[in-house]
Amino acid sequence: MKRNFHPLLKGGRRETKYSHVFSSSDMEALTSICEAFVPPVPLESIEHPARNDQKTNQAIESFCKASGAQYPIPDEAAEIVSKRGFLELFLLVRFILRMLSSRIGTLLLCGTLCFVKEWPFINKFSEMSVEKREKVLQFWLKNRFITVIRVGFVFLKFLCIYVFFTVVGEESNNPAWEAMGFRPDSTEGVAKLPEERPLDKGIVETTQEQDFTIVGSLKQKGLEVVEDPSTNSYKIRCDVVIVGSGCGGGVAAAILARSGYKVVVIEKGNYFVRTDYSLLEGPSMNELYEHGGLFSTLDGKITILAGSTVGGGSAVNWSASIRTPEPVLQEWAEEQKLPMFTSNDYHSAMDAVCKRIGVTKNCTKEGFQNQVLRNGCEKLGFQAATVPRNSSEDHYCGSCCYGCKSGDKKGADTTWLVDAVNCGAVIITGCKAEKFILEKNKSLRKRKQKCLGVVAKSINEDITKRFFIEAKATVSACGSLLTPPLMISSGLKNHNIGRNLHLHPVLMAWGYFPEDNSEIQGKMYEGGIITSIHKVGSDEYNVRAAIEAAALGPGSFAAVLPWVSGKDLKNRVLKYSRTAHLFSMIRDIGSGEVTAEGRIKYHLDELDKENIKVGLRRALRILIAAGAVEVGTHRSDGQNFKCKGISELDLEEFIDTVASPEGPKSLVKNWTTYGSAHQMGSCRMGITEQDGAVDENGESWEAERLFVCDASVLPSAVGVNPMITIQSTAYCLAEKIVATLKETKVSS
């Protein structure tokens, strides 16, 4: 039966032709790479789980025959490289493809494997056998000397495999899913909710507008709009303009709008409601995440997930609603000299935030992965705490990372932004901020400049004019990855802008639990994503790592697995539904820098590496204690351990080999890739302009009336899932913005 979702989230046949710039010879090389990463393999070479279902067995047979060369996988991969990859990566991939599309280039990259006995004696990469191509890929993924080329092959590996397992046809299905034991959540049995769009009365979706309709739509929402031919722009006046609609922007919009101010929120992403969500990994990642979820640091060491839709990260996060730990608040108040964080106001804000987003402390039924975590901890004598969530206690959804289809999770798009709209706020979607409007400050305040608003542009090419949004106060709330580039492009110079970026890096461990010998029931993609947590450390002041469960769709699961060979990949993917993933997350001391949009550098401190290693080793012990028959890490050599009949000595010897190696660009043979879903601190708060990019009120040290109200103001990493911290901080800062506006009104 065909399912109905929002057109942008359904996948299937493309509406437009492919626009990548790769030539036919490039595509020939890319197709042969895709086939080598996901080759056809003999059915008898696969140790697939025993299944009695004839349909599933037929699907497994078909999956074994399938390859990454099949249309449209190479073209989809090429499209992503062209549109999502940063410039150096695009040029590197094109260089590799150009080399492999010629005989001399193939000889340089493949060595003697490309030799044949007959003229012309050298095969191009596409002319080599799949087996020989596979050996070339294995060589480059291990090569520790020309790591730049290795990074290119690592990216292609991730991309080819990810596309293979996420591309869907007209029936919104991928042929491999049946073989993997995966079925997208249909949310059957969930209580029927009203089919409504709660932001409709305050939202203007520029992707649905044109030049001749946009002014009328904006005026209809109560905005003062004037066309200015001299600047080819639409001038909009309001009290407060907020860039970004996530945890920070949503809360700020609600507080300011209910205080009587006319608020305009601009959001470059689109607006979706629960009935729009398809829960299909590929289309959902493409529309709901920054860079389509295919985002990393410049060296490829850390892959990054950040929301990019109305509601921001709160619309796609994993529901964990953990209050800021008291030791962290004390550190910020005492060491950073920011008393707000231990004030009654901040604790009251946490109470108000938890109440508004409906945080509950218990979980009626845990999913497979959280059962594994809790079961393993109990058997080892460790504590596994229950994680509060912004949903009901019986919320059993493993797909909230693609939007909450049931409507149970209470993100900013269904709470704070609804409050804001009900108080007269207007949200303009598909609208990207370009720079803040700054002028020399003539007031007696110390700031050299004054912010008058923001310049923005619709992503819809049918709207040719820019938006000049003039406001009494401007709030940047577009997150730790995008607030710094926006401030830099506006001409701000504070040396803290973009620096001190914290990512809560994670490394994952996996464990396979066959269905026929496990006391733990369910599938890895079912149930609440994070409902339990284990902290490694002696007490709350000495937490070295937090261990939680991870949400991985079929594509992400396959793409992040170490690639040893095509046969190994298919063997592991067939065990998808019963492979639990636990991750070790740290409160990082090391930090990074956002130098421009999409350009992130990051350095792990040595203590960070040690802590994440300790957490990773603990995660493996938990998986083994819970009954896994095989466990492993994501180290590039496919590090794994068979658990049946092992001795304690065997286990200790394996655990001792588990480390936290560098990324693919480092000079090591066995590398790994870290992950991050939390970004903080890149415009941190400080008591002086030497200490931070903004003051204790969130106001820029350089520009009066320019405030930052998102995770980038946090003084350092939080150490736990940061949603409550971000919203509570935004709550306090928004109240301060209200006070500033009232003070100015009185003085004027």
Residue list for the binding site for FAD:
238-253
17's CB contacts (< 8 A; 6+ apart) are none
Beta bridge partners of 601: 593
CA distance readout (Å), 482 to 317, 475, 476, 704: 18, 13, 9, 20
> Which among 4, 83, 168 is positioned nearest to 459, based on CA atoms?
83
Q: Torsions phi, psi of 254, nearest 5?
A: -65, -45
Res 196: pLDDT:
79
Beta bridge partners of 633: 509
Neighbour count for residue 194 (Cβ, 10 Å)? 7
Q: Scan for tokens 């869907």, then name that residue.
A: 168
Res 50: pLDDT:
65
Q: Scan for tokens 């599938």, then name that residue.
A: 523
Q: Torsions phi, psi of 229, nearest 5?
A: -60, -30
* Single-letter amino acid, residue 223: L
Structure tokens at 155: 């990216």
Rounded to whole angstroms, the Cα distance separating 115 from 129 reads 11
At 169 the three-state DSSP class reads coil
Q: Contact, 309 vs 287, CB < 8 A?
A: yes
**C-alpha 309, offset from chain centre:** 12
Q: Judging by DSSP bridges, how do beta strands 385-386 and 240-243 pair with one another?
A: unpaired
Rounded to whole angstroms, the Cα distance separating 43 from 65 reads 8
Rounded to whole angstroms, the Cα distance separating 716 from 684 reads 8
Q: Contact, 524 vs 552, CB < 8 A?
A: yes
Q: Contact, 463 vs 214, CB < 8 A?
A: yes
Number of H helices, E strands in the chain: 22, 23
> Which among 132, 151, 160, 136 is positioned nearest to 31, based on CA atoms?
160
Res 53: pLDDT:
77
Q: Contact, 718 vs 238, CB < 8 A?
A: no
715-740 per-residue burial string, b: 16 or more CB within 10 A, e: under 16: bbbbbbbbbbbbbbbbbbbbbbbbeb
Rounded to whole angstroms, the Cα distance separating 164 from 162 reads 6
438-476 per-residue burial string, b: 16 or more CB within 10 A, e: under 16: beebeeeeebebbbbbbbbbbebeebebbbbbebbbbbb
Beta bridge partners of 581: 510
DSSP 30: H
> Which among 508, 673, 633, 638 is positioned nearest to 565, based on CA atoms?
638
Res 1: pLDDT:
43
Sign of CA dihedral 439, 443, 448, 452: negative
Q: Scan for tokens 């090391």, then name that residue.
A: 590
At 435 the three-state DSSP class reads strand
Res 48: pLDDT:
72
In terms of residues, how long is the chain? 748
Res 191: pLDDT:
46
Sign of CA dihedral 712, 714, 719, 723: negative
52's CB contacts (< 8 A; 6+ apart) are none
Q: Judging by DSSP bridges, how do beta strands 543-549 and 579-585 pair with one another?
A: antiparallel
Structure tokens at 436: 């803040």
Q: Alpha-carbon dihedral of residues 489, 495, 496, 500, nearest 10 degrees?
A: 100
Q: Scan for tokens 């203590």, then name that residue.
A: 607
Structure tokens at 339: 């008393």
Q: Contact, 492 vs 702, CB < 8 A?
A: yes
Q: Contact, 527 vs 368, CB < 8 A?
A: yes
Structure tokens at 140: 């480059």
463's CB contacts (< 8 A; 6+ apart) are 206, 209, 210, 211, 214
Catalytic residue selected from 20, 395, 634, 678: 678
Structure tokens at 192: 């029927």
Half-sphere exposure of 239 (CA within 13 A, CB side): 21
* Single-letter amino acid, residue 169: G
At 455 the three-state DSSP class reads strand
Q: Torsions phi, psi of 466, nearest 5?
A: -85, 165
Beta bridge partners of 476: 243, 708
1's CB contacts (< 8 A; 6+ apart) are none
Structure tokens at 130: 């799949």
At 676 the three-state DSSP class reads strand
Sign of CA dihedral 548, 159, 59, 633: negative
Res 124: pLDDT:
97
Rounded to whole angstroms, the Cα distance separating 646 from 642 reads 8
Structure tokens at 379: 């058997």
Q: Contact, 534 vs 383, CB < 8 A?
A: yes
* Single-letter amino acid, residue 282: G
The residues of the chain scoring below 50 in pLDDT are: 1, 188-191, 748
Res 16: pLDDT:
82
> Which among 384, 396, 259, 380 is positioned nearest to 319, based on CA atoms?
396
678 labelled catalytic: yes
Rounded to whole angstroms, the Cα distance separating 498 from 505 reads 18
Res 669: pLDDT:
94
Rounded to whole angstroms, the Cα distance separating 36 from 565 reads 9
